[in-house]
Structure 1
Amino acid sequence: MSRFNVITTVPEFERRVRSAASGTLTGTVQSIPSVPFPVGPEEILDRQTGEPLEVIVVGPGVPLDKAIKLASVFDLMYPEISVLLVHETTEALALQAMRSGVRDLLSPDADIDTIRVMLERASLASASRRRGLTPAHDPERQQGRVIAVMSPKGGVGKTTVSTNLAIGLAKLAPMSVVLVDFDVQFGDVASGLQLSPEHTLSDAVNGAAANDSMVLKAYLTVHPSGIYVLAAPVSPTESEHISGEQVARVLAQLASEFVFVVVDSSPGLGEHVIATLEQATDAVWVCGMDIPSIKGLRAALGVLHEINLVPPGRHVVLNFADRFSGLRVQDVEDTLGIPVDVVLPRSRNIPLSTNRGVPLLQDNVRDAATKGLRKLVSRFDPKALAQPQKKVHRRVVIS
């Protein structure tokens, strides 16, 4: 969860920072009196409450020499904390700020949207540095979990499951979850979350981002729930220039930086889906409560078993379940030959949440579908998995 601190003598600027942080970023803003000016980082950190400090905004109204000195000390002692300097920019100041370790320069007249973008970038840089400071030989440091949300056919609620899963996981690992839209032709994760991303997958697989994780993370979009999003290309024609090899490389990069990488894949078993499965630690299989969807999933699983491409973690989600479909959960399990892990009953709240762009787990809607989504999230919670399980599988009855 992001945490920001501001040192300024200008109440109006502090108000804009607070508005920017509350607009899209999780976390709160603390302020430190600028008179007398803090003698060093310890004085600031001693007053810190709640989440770890990620971004400190210095100015306006702060003497430039003191601001530069404070940034230099933070850069040496706490490089994981990003410093934003608020001052009228000149070429000489830009060079001085760069040498002192200032993350970005911000105009005192910057509007709320500009401040928000700067805070997002600085927060992302802080998270990257924290992970980078973990020693490479640390036994606790490991690749993130890549969770592919899959379906042989479209229209079964795959994106709904993906977005809610990512938001639920963010409560387990704040600011450490990225949702990737690999439905490269018709992906709608961005619209489903009411995001207007500046960059998409097309940018991420080309140029410097292909070889530099820091550049790649600059192409991610921050969602108010605290997840990062890599959106699908804007135009379906752009998918022709994205290969399976590029998809695999992006996933490997993200897995090295995030605890959870949730992938909303395209329907079927195309090149990009196969590349995703090769990197995945888990597959969440989504099917509807209709015969074509169930038979399609059985056929897909059969093919993947033949080529030995089924991820170790398997999670079957039955969506749109109701007792008027003419099928029972047992019928679905008998056809698939494997148990159904999570049942999502048909709910009026799901299409409503989709149209609003606010997933159920973000809005904390209370209904049976929300309960099912939370159960899916719990399958990836280390604390929940550590508890003894009395039953391996319990038959679900749809009311």
Structure 2
Amino acid sequence: MNNILLATDFVDLRDRFRAATGQAIPALPPGPLPASPAQLFQQLGGGDVPEVVVIDERSGTEAALELASRLNAECPGIAVVLASDRAAELGLAAMRAGVSDIVSTESDEDEIRHALDRADRAARQRTRVGPGDRDDSRTGSRSTRGRVISVVSPKGGVGKTTIAANLAVGLARAEPHSTVLVDLDLQFGDVSTALNLAPEHTIVDVVQGAAARDSMVLKTFLTQHESGLTVVCGPHSPVEADLVGVDELTHLLQTLAAEFRFVVIDTAPAITDHVLAALDLTNDLVLVTSMDVPGVRGLRKEMDILRDLGMAFERRHVVVNLADPHSGLTRSDVEATLGTGVDLVLPRSRGAAVSINQGVPLLQSDVRDPAAKKLRRLVDRFAPAPKKEPRPSREKAGSRFGGRHRLQRKGAQ
């Protein structure tokens, strides 16, 4: 069988498995076991993604079981074989961690081959999908493509990231694990701040190495938000922006669209090559401006540029943020300048300001706020809330039955 990886510092175990398979099985570099699948894939460098990982329990029982558990949860296409001479003692814990099989470090070649074959079959069984799902679970291709929603604005400070974060959280809460939010402001993106996240990995990590070639690996590099939203956070430093190429970004967005129902992109406040690459894949464009003359005129210029580039979006949503009745501008003024209708007006809100400073989007906290109510309308444009059946009022209910009782009483008289 192919695609086996040895996680052990013991030469004797490596030699035993290589002799049993007749293959030059790769092994992780010497040192502590990786704490997560993402760290494991980073240590692999450019190597192939394994289908079976053999973890030597002698490297540390707790670390071995923790890695096995995370591989089981995050990488269903990988089976884990535990090499240990304490099978009777660790059997239950290993089973709970999702270990496919336990082999002794002194097992003969036949026992090793049988264990690896069982693990290989288990891995393939777990990645088997039906005809209506994916064409290939390891490459991320699907028969259907997710909806890509890009949130754009030519100016900073208009609440673009706040709107993108609330839209993504709202979609994720409407359908858990359906949505990924991508921070495409590669120099000064602050999606992680807006969601109060401290990401271990950023977009720089997911466009390189094994994560760029395998959707299963990619998911282990993504950041999970408590709302059920998945996030691709921006680089830690502006100097890392150059590490994300346009071709790599395009491939990433295509892979995400194959894995998620909604891909929300928070773009940079400029028309860069990366933004244009994202717009080429965009289904819905959310155009954001603040209710002031510079913001509205800037948005009009951006709309004109996109039109000249041949990017006329049929599904376009114009959002005016930070609306203030005392600003001197009206909705009609904005529409006249833009030459198109405004779909949503978000009022300036004290609750929104607090949510930004706390890193808790309005649609995550369920606060009663005028801006939150309008943001829910934006979410409903993409994932409408199910309509509730109207309940008959007591008055109507009484009219249905009370009339019969009155007739009965009248007849009795």
TM-score (norm 1): 0.65
Cα 1:182–1:103, aligned 2, differ >3 Å: closer, same or farther? farther
Distance 2:131 2:235 in 1: 29
Aligned residue for 2:145, secondary structure, equals coil
Please name the residue that 2:301 is paired with.
299
Cα 1:151–1:384, aligned 2, differ >3 Å: closer, same or farther? farther
State the Cα RMSD in Å. 3.5
The offset of 1:88, in angstroms, is: 11
* Per-residue Cα deviation, 1:93-129 (whole angstroms, up to 9, x for no partner): 9x8599547999xxxxxxxxxxxxxxxxxxxxx9x87
* Per-residue Cα deviation, 1:140-197 (whole angstroms, up to 9, x for no partner): 9410001001001111001100110011001222111111101000011112211111
Please name the residue that 2:367 is paired with.
365
Please name the residue that 1:119 is paired with.
none
Please name the residue that 1:22 is paired with.
none
Distance 2:226 2:335 in 1: 37
Please name the residue that 2:98 is paired with.
84
8 Å CA contact 2:100–2:119 kept in 1: the answer is no
Please name the residue that 1:268 is paired with.
270
Q: Are residues 1:314 and 2:316 paired?
A: yes
Distance 2:191 2:265 in 1: 10
Cα 1:224–1:100, aligned 2, differ >3 Å: closer, same or farther? same
Distance 1:92 1:198 in 2: 38
Please name the residue that 2:224 is paired with.
222
Superposed, which structure 2 residues align to 1:31-70 within 5 Å?
Answer: none
Distance 1:350 1:98 in 2: 56
Distance 1:134 1:205 in 2: 25
The offset of 1:208, in angstroms, is: 1.8
Aligned residue for 2:259, secondary structure, equals coil
Please name the residue that 1:146 is paired with.
148
Distance 1:92 1:144 in 2: 49
The offset of 1:245, in angstroms, is: 2.0
The offset of 1:332, in angstroms, is: 0.4
Please name the residue that 1:252 is paired with.
254
Please name the residue that 1:181 is paired with.
183
Distance 1:201 1:242 in 2: 8
Please name the residue that 1:155 is paired with.
157
For 1:248, give the aligned amino acid: T
Please name the residue that 1:14 is paired with.
none
Q: Are residues 1:282 and 2:281 paired?
A: no
Cα 1:90–1:260, aligned 2, differ >3 Å: closer, same or farther? farther
Distance 2:200 2:146 in 1: 25
Distance 2:128 2:313 in 1: 30
For 1:262, give the aligned amino acid: V
Please name the residue that 1:348 is paired with.
350
Cα 1:66–1:294, aligned 2, differ >3 Å: closer, same or farther? same
For 2:369, give the aligned amino acid: D
Aligned residue for 1:166, secondary structure, equals helix
8 Å CA contact 2:100–2:122 kept in 1: the answer is no
Distance 1:103 1:149 in 2: 42
Distance 1:131 1:220 in 2: 26
* Per-residue Cα deviation, 1:346-398 (whole angstroms, up to 9, x for no partner): 0011121111111100000111100110000000025679xxxxxxxxxxxxx
Superposed, which structure 2 residues align to 1:59-208 within 5 Å?
Answer: 84-85=98-99, 99-100=118-119, 134=133, 136=135, 141-208=143-210
Please name the residue that 1:51 is paired with.
none
8 Å CA contact 2:132–2:143 kept in 1: the answer is no
8 Å CA contact 1:353–1:360 kept in 2: the answer is yes
For 1:134, give the aligned amino acid: D
Distance 2:292 2:336 in 1: 14
Please name the residue that 1:326 is paired with.
328
Distance 1:195 1:235 in 2: 16
Cα 1:153–1:129, aligned 2, differ >3 Å: closer, same or farther? farther
Distance 1:271 1:371 in 2: 35
Cα 1:237–1:364, aligned 2, differ >3 Å: closer, same or farther? same
* Per-residue Cα deviation, 1:61-100 (whole angstroms, up to 9, x for no partner): 99755787x78xxxxxxxxxxx63599998689x859954
Please name the residue that 2:341 is paired with.
339
8 Å CA contact 1:131–1:257 kept in 2: the answer is no
Cα 1:331–1:220, aligned 2, differ >3 Å: closer, same or farther? same
The offset of 1:325, in angstroms, is: 0.5
For 1:279, give the aligned amino acid: L
Q: Gapped runs of 5+ residues in structure 1?
A: 1-53, 56-60, 72-82, 105-125, 386-399
For 2:323, give the aligned amino acid: A
Cα 1:292–1:222, aligned 2, differ >3 Å: closer, same or farther? same
Aligned-residue identity in percent: 46
8 Å CA contact 1:174–1:226 kept in 2: the answer is yes
For 2:185, give the aligned amino acid: D
For 2:193, give the aligned amino acid: S
Moved more, 238-247 or 333-342: 238-247
Report the count of equivalent residues.
290
* Per-residue Cα deviation, 1:217-243 (whole angstroms, up to 9, x for no partner): 111011100010110010100112222
Cα 1:196–1:66, aligned 2, differ >3 Å: closer, same or farther? closer
Cα 1:306–1:84, aligned 2, differ >3 Å: closer, same or farther? same
The offset of 1:204, in angstroms, is: 1.1
Q: Gapped runs of 5+ residues in structure 2?
A: 1-74, 77-86, 137-141, 388-413
Cα 1:355–1:103, aligned 2, differ >3 Å: closer, same or farther? farther
Distance 1:131 1:161 in 2: 36
Please name the residue that 1:23 is paired with.
none
